């Protein structure tokens, strides 16, 4: 009798074990930390966030489009964010939310080089990979930076351009983004270094104005420059928002040829001013590619293929192989060279970005 009972028990145990194995898994709401190693269960998609400076900037939208394309090509989930105002505080709040959401990676275009450090360190301490793109955060706040082009070339070439446009002498001004923006501030430093050359002795930089990458403020800052400096001969706007606003003001006031304009602009927004001659030429890189490269670098960090140290190599999809190089006390990945847009080529580019 005992033997029969033991046999029945053994059969019951086997059946329940088999049933357990075959039982359907609950629908997964897991984050990456809960994924198991069983082959049956699909791994939750890794989450890659990108925070741009602020909303309403077509350049930022293109950059985020490129990031999303890369992340989706690689099978991840892209989370795209931007605050209403281009402030560090607003980005800090978003970083805190993303830490709570347990994302795998935060990429951002910083609104301040240093102010985001505590929040970004907290993210890295929580195991989140952090990188900046377009506008850097300091080296302690990131694992690597994705740089659009050599800042020295960007700064110097814009001064050379405006000086050629104004015929070698006169007053010039800069219309920038925010006063805290790392990318614009670095370019402006290089502009000032270029202006130290004695060949520019007759050129005077009268003011650096800040339109905060907000359309209306950039318009009013341009108007204020024209009012305060009636002899102004040229404006450099190293921001796509600023240069488009200045293009409109100069056009509306009939100042074509009297006040020259150059800087960094989106072909789609600047074509009319380049075609009209208000802005004889300008520069930029491909913002979609900046975002795309950031996506591939983010993925390589999360996969552990790179750590962000000099010499790390990874494949960046359609952009080919890329390498991490030095950048002061930090590291960076370089996209390429700035590109010159003028009346001859703007037609080909205005529908691209
Ligand atoms: C604006 C932003 C961005 C900068 C471009 C050139 O769209 O400030 O950060 O890279 O201009």
Q: Which of 134, 186, 191 to mutate to test the pocket of ligand 1 (most atoms within 8 A of CB)?
A: 134
- Asked if 244 and 269 touch (Cβ cutoff 8 Å), the reply is yes
If phi > 0 it is left, if psi is from -120 to 50 it is alpha, else beta; for residue 320 that is left
DSSP letter for 318, please.
G
Radius of gyration of the chain (CA): 26
β-pair type (170-176, 330-336): unpaired
Q: Is 132 in the pocket of ligand 1 (CB under 6 A)?
A: no
Q: What is the pLDDT of residue 42?
A: 72
Phi, psi of 205 (to 5 degrees): -85, 110
The number of the ligand 1 atom at minimal distance from the alpha carbon of 265 is 6
Q: What is the pLDDT of residue 6?
A: 52
Q: Which of 187, 264, 288 to mutate to test the pocket of ligand 1 (most atoms within 8 A of CB)?
A: 264
Q: What is the DSSP string of 11-55?
A: HHHHHHHHHHHHSPPPPP---GGG--S-SSSPPPPPEEEEE-S-S
Structural domains for the chain: 47-147+287-335 (3.40.50.2300), 151-284 (3.40.50.2300)
Indicate which residue's Cα is closest to atom 3 of ligand 1. Answer: 239
Rounded Cα distance, 13 and 16, in Å: 5
Indicate which residue's Cα is closest to atom 6 of ligand 1. Answer: 239
What's the gap in Å between 157 CA and the centre of ligand 1?
16
What's the gap in Å between 95 CA and the centre of ligand 1?
21
Rounded Cα distance, 236 and 265, in Å: 11
- Asked if 269 and 290 touch (Cβ cutoff 8 Å), the reply is no
- Asked if 235 and 248 touch (Cβ cutoff 8 Å), the reply is no
Cα 56 to Cα 84, 89, 90, 214, distances in angstroms: 8, 18, 15, 8
What's the gap in Å between 213 CA and the centre of ligand 1?
8
Q: What is the pLDDT of residue 3?
A: 54
Indicate which residue's Cα is closest to atom 11 of ligand 1. Answer: 239
Q: Is 214 in the pocket of ligand 1 (CB under 6 A)?
A: no
What's the gap in Å between 268 CA and the centre of ligand 1?
14
Indicate which residue's Cα is closest to atom 2 of ligand 1. Answer: 239
Read off the pTM: 0.88
> 211 CB contacts (<8 Å, ≥6 apart)?
175, 176, 177, 217, 218, 219, 220, 221, 222, 237, 239, 241, 242, 245
Please list the pLDDT of the chain residue by residue as tens digits (353 residues).
455 545 555 544 444 444 433 333 333 333 333 334 455 667 899 999 999 999 999 999 999 999 999 999 999 999 999 999 999 999 999 999 999 999 999 999 999 999 999 999 999 999 999 999 999 999 999 999 999 999 999 999 999 999 999 999 999 999 999 999 999 999 999 999 999 999 999 999 999 999 999 999 999 999 999 999 999 999 999 999 999 999 999 999 999 999 999 999 999 999 999 999 999 999 999 999 999 999 999 999 999 999 999 999 999 999 999 999 999 999 999 999 999 999 999 999 999 99
């Amino acid at each position: 009798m005992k033997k029969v009972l033991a046999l029945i028990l053994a059969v019951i145990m086997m059946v329940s074990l088999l049933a357990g194995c075959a039982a359907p898994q609950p629908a997964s709401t897991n984050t990456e930390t809960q994924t198991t190693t069983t082959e049956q269960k699909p791994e939750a998609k890794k989450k890659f966030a990108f925070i741009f400076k602020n909303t309403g900037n077509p350049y930022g939208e293109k950059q985020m489009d490129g990031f999303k394309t890369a992340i989706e090509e690689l099978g991840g989930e892209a989370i795209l964010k931007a605050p209403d105002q281009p402030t560090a505080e607003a980005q800090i709040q978003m970083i805190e939310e993303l830490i709570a959401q347990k994302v795998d990676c935060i990429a951002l275009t910083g609104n301040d080089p240093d102010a985001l450090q505590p929040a970004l360190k907290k993210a890295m301490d929580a195991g989140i990979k952090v990188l900046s793109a377009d506008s850097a955060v300091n080296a302690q706040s990131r694992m690597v930076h994705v740089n659009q082009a050599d800042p020295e070339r960007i700064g110097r070439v814009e001064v050379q351009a405006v000086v050629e446009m104004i015929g070698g002498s006169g007053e010039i001004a800069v219309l920038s983004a925010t006063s805290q923006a790392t990318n614009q501030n670095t370019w402006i430093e290089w502009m000032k270094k270029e202006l130290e050359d004695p060949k520019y002795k007759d050129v005077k930089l009268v003011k650096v104005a800040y339109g905060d990458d907000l359309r209306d403020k950039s318009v009013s800052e341009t108007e204020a420059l024209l009012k305060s400096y009636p002899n102004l001969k040229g404006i450099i706007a190293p921001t796509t928002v600023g240069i488009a606003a200045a293009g409109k003001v100069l056009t509306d006031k009939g100042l074509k040829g009297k006040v020259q304009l150059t800087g960094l602009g989106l072909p789609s927004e600047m074509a009319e001013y380049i075609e009209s001659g208000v802005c004889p030429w300008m520069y930029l890189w491909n913002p979609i590619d900046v975002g795309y490269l950031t996506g591939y670098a983010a993925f390589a960090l999360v996969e552990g293929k790179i750590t962000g140290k000099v010499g790390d190599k990874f494949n960046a999809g359609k952009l080919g192989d890329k390498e991490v190089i030095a950048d002061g006390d930090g590291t960076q990945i370089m996209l390429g060279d700035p590109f010159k847009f003028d009346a001859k080529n703007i037609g080909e580019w205005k529908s691209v970005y």
